[in-house]
Amino acid sequence: MVEVIQVVDTQFENRIGKIYQSIFSRASQYHNKNYESKYKEVLFKDLIFHKNKKFIDKFNITILPSTLFFKDNKLVFKKEGIIATKDLLQIIEEI
């Protein structure tokens, strides 16, 4: 299984935060309903920055938003900053 985790802050209500929330949500909905993927199960999750200090430290997250891609519970790719919907879907296929 593949997990895609978006790390955000509760103060993420600004314009950039809303844009990325929309992108992340769209990628999740598109993948789970329409996308012909080699992975049947892709789990999309939100993680709040200040409530998950151990996770943040373990994966050295310094920029928000950050998106982490796990395969079989192992980190395989980390992207800091905003990612376009098509790029999110492409990364999933490449891991």
pLDDT number for residue 50: 82
| Coil/strand/helix, residue 13 | coil
Q: Cβ of 17: how many Cβ atoms within 10 Å?
A: 17
92 burial via Cβ count (<10 Å: 0-12, 13-18, 19+): buried
Q: Does domain 2-94 have CATH number 3.40.30.10?
A: yes
Is the pTM higher than 0.75? The answer reads yes
What tens digit of pLDDT does each residue of 25-46 get? Answer: 888 887 777 656 665 677 888 8
Q: Which residues of the chain have pLDDT under 70?
A: 10-15, 34-40
Listed by start position, the domains of the chain span 2-94
DSSP letter for 46, please.
Answer: E
